[in-house]
């Protein structure tokens, strides 16, 4: 199959492989394509009736496939370590060929969706021209694309992550007009952080504060008479796992104790027992957004590594110690957050593979299958998500990732609808659940397209 035949929205639907005497040689090969279950007839029909039956079966298949969608987690689902799951690439090509709606829903982040599209294409040995992955990547912070334009255009955000400068560029592309990094703040006022260890490396790149703002050394941080040119932060965005926890915790703390997000001020409501949360985060401070809460992630190293969730635990610990036990209030994106599932659902409803992160005409869905390896994020999120339009989200757990069946834990804490060996089996199960006969062998085969 030449790559150019893939991903062309204008291509007519391919004829589905209907079981009949005329196609006996193909079906006997054990690589049957998609079948409407009820069309699997062994009797021989007169040609005209057969043709009509094929039409009916094809219509049923089209309808069945047009009303379902898939959300694929990436790590542990499409590949294990650096090894792609056998058959995953071929299965994806077939889903694309049959115009089934799907997205890739990952808690990874810190880069642009197109960078992830390129790296995933490479890892799965797919040509970028094949259009199997493009415009389908949803990273942990991608839902911020859908934020209100007014918020993005008028506000100022503090953004941090593993590569703050990259995160800033991506945020700018999302429409955030004023994105400030911790490096900008210490460049504007080196008294904010009295250490210079990472100045020439992690914090080497910085920009002047927007609109000529400054970080003043105020004499009375409790004064409400804030100089007009003081930097005010409206939202704090933790894009992905920060590298300089010390600086980031300091700056985030300073903003969360401030008066209305003006850096260098302190709210007089802090510690007021008559207010909710003893007055902490009750004075118009910026809202804290965390792009995902994954404590751990898997690399080639035998012991799991800490992710963004570990940074949040550190921040929470320091916050509790500094405030006498106040709750740290924040919102999380990424799986299992409802925000992320809502965004993914909306993308699938308006799926338009040719439009970058874009929207096509709304087409309703009956069922969405979330295929993941992590019960705490993929499965939990899908189980708890009940969209207002009544679409059913079904969770499928694969055995190729972080979850392992052990003697102590036969079942995961968040139970999926079904547990299967891998992503190819997951698709076969979902198709059967829709009354569409499909074999694992056909899904994983590199030919036999229809
Ligand atoms: Mg995973």
Please state the φ and ψ torsions of residue 397, each to the nearest 5 degrees.
-100, 130
* Centre of ligand 1 from the C-alpha of residue 368, in Å: 18
Q: Is the peptide bond before 257 cis (omega within 30 degrees of 0)?
A: no
**Ligand 1 center to residue 127 CA distance, Å?**
23
Query: Which of 159, 64, 24 lies closest to 433, judged by CA?
Result: 64
Q: Read off the tokens for 69.
A: 């969608």
CA–CA distance, 208 with 333 (Å, rounded to integer)? 29
Other CB atoms within 10 Å distance of the CB of residue 103: 22
| Residue 73, φ and ψ in degrees, nearest 5 | -70, 160
Tell me, what's the pLDDT at 299?
72
Structure tokens at 391: 């679409």
H-helix segments, 194-307? 245-256
**433 CA to centre of ligand 1 in angstroms:** 23
| Mean pLDDT, all residues of the chain | 86
What confidence tens digit (pLDDT) does each residue in 249-280 have? 999 999 999 999 999 999 999 999 999 999 99
pLDDT at position 42 is 35
Compute, in angstroms, the gap from residue 105 CA to the centroid of ligand 1: 9
pTM exceeds cut of 0.75 = yes
Q: How far is CA 447 from CA 10, 174, 425, 443, in A?
A: 21, 39, 18, 9
CA of 220 to the centre of ligand 1 (A): 49
Share of the chain above pLDDT 70, in %: 86
Residue 73 alpha carbon to ligand 1 centre in Å: 5
3-state secondary structure of 420: strand
Lowest-confidence region among 73-77, 91-95, 114-118, 409-413: 409-413
Burial profile 408-428: b = 16 or more Cβ within 10 angstroms, e = fewer:
eeeebebebbebbebbbbbbb
Compute, in angstroms, the gap from residue 317 CA to the centroid of ligand 1. Answer: 27
Per residue in 16-39, pLDDT (tens digit) is 232 222 232 333 333 346 665 543
Give the Cβ contact number of residue 35 at 10 Å: 23
Structure tokens at 428: 């076969």
- In the DSSP assignment, the letter for residue 262 is B
- Residue 82 gets which letter from DSSP? T
Task: Count CA within 13 A, CB hemisphere, residue 98.
Answer: 32
Q: Determine the 3-state secondary structure of 51 from DSSP.
A: helix
CB 35 within 8 A of CB 18: yes
Among 254-263, 272-281, 423-432, 437-446, name the one with the lowest average pLDDT: 437-446
**pLDDT tens profile 310-337:** 999 999 999 999 999 999 999 999 999 9
Q: What is the distance between the alpha carbons of residues 404 and 410, in angstroms, rounded to a whole number? A: 8
Report pLDDT digits (tens) over 379-410: 999 999 999 999 999 999 999 988 888 777 77
Measure 103 CA to ligand 1 centroid, in angstroms: 14
Distance 78 CA to ligand 1 centre (A): 9
Q: What pLDDT, on the 0 to 100 scale, is given for residue 7?
A: 25
Per DSSP, 18 falls in state -
Distance CA 157, CA 443 (A): 45
Predicted pLDDT at 8: 24
Rounded to the nearest whole angstrom, what is the distance from the C-alpha of residue 81 to the centroid of ligand 1? 11
- Look at residue 347 in the predicted model and tell me its pLDDT: 94
Please write the tens of the pLDDT for every residue from 290-303.
999 988 887 778 78
- Give the per-residue pLDDT at 119: 93
All residues at 6 or more sequence positions from 161 whose CB lies less than 8 Å from its CB, including other chains: 109, 110, 167, 238, 239, 240, 241, 242, 291
Cα 403 to averaged position of ligand 1 atoms, centre (Å)? 9
pLDDT at site 231: 98
| Strand intervals (E) in 252-379 | 287-290, 296-297, 305-306, 331-332, 367-372
Is residue 92 helix, strand or coil?
Answer: helix
The DSSP symbol for 7 reads T
Residue pair 195/202 in contact by the 8 Å Cβ criterion = no
pLDDT at 54: 64
Distance 309 CA to ligand 1 centre (A): 15
DSSP type of residue 80: E
Q: 358 pLDDT band (50/70/90 cuts)?
A: low
* Residue 359 and residue 350 in contact, taking contact as beta carbons nearer than 8 Å: yes
SS3 402: coil
CA of 245 to the centre of ligand 1 (A): 25
In whole angstroms, what is the distance from residue 166 CA to residue 164 CA? 5
How many angstroms is it from 247 CA to the middle of ligand 1?
29
Contact 2, 30 (CB under 8 A): no
């Amino acid at each position: 199959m030449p790559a150019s035949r893939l991903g062309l929205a204008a291509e007519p639907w391919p004829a589905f492989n209907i079981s009949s005497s005329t196609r006996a040689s193909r079906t006997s090969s054990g690589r049957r394509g998609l079948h409407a279950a009820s069309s699997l007839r062994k009797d021989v029909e007169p040609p005209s009736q057969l043709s009509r039956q094929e039409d009916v079966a094809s219509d049923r298949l089209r309808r069945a496939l047009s009303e379902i969608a898939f959300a694929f987690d990436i790590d542990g689902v499409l590949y294990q370590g650096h090894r792609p799951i056998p058959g995953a690439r071929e299965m994806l090509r077939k889903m694309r060929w049959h115009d089934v709606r799907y997205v890739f829903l990952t808690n990874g982040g810190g880069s642009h969706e197109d960078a992830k599209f390129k790296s995933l294409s490479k890892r799965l040995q797919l040509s970028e021209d094949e259009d199997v992955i493009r415009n389908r990547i949803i990273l942990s912070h991608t839902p911020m694309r859908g934020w209100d334009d007014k918020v993005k255009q008028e506000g100022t955000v503090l953004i941090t992550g593993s590569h703050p400068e990259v995160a800033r560029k991506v945020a700018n592309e999302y429409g955030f007009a004023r994105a400030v990094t911790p490096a900008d703040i210490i460049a504007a006022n080196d008294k904010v952080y009295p250490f210079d260890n990472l100045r020439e490396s992690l914090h080497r790149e910085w920009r002047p504060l927007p609109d000529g703002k400054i970080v003043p050394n105020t004499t009375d941080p409790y004064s409400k008479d804030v100089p007009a040119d003081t930097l005010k932060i409206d939202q704090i965005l933790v894009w992905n796992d920060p590298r300089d926890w010390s600086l980031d915790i300091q700056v985030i703390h300073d903003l969360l104790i401030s008066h209305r997000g003006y850096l260098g001020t302190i709210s007089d409501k802090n510690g007021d027992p008559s207010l909710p949360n003893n007055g902490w985060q009750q004075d118009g401070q910026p809202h804290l957004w965390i792009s995902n809460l994954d404590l751990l992630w898997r690399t080639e190293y035998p012991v799991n590594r800490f992710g963004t969730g570990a940074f949040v635990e550190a921040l929470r610990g320091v916050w509790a110690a500094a405030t006498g036990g106040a709750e740290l209030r924040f919102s999380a994106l990424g799986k299992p957050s409802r925000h992320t599932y809502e965004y993914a659902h909306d993308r699938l409803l308006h799926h338009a593979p040719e439009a970058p992160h874009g929207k096509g005409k709304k087409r309703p869905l009956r069922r969405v299958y979330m295929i993941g390896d992590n019960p705490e994020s993929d499965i939990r999120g899908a189980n708890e998500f009940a969209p207002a339009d009544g679409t059913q989200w079904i969770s499928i757990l694969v055995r190729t990732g972080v979850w392992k069946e052990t003697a102590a834990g036969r079942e995961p804490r968040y139970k999926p609808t079904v547990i299967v060996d891998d992503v190819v089996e997951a698709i076969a199960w979902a198709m059967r659940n829709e009354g569409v006969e499909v074999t694992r062998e056909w899904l994983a085969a590199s030919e036999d397209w229809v």
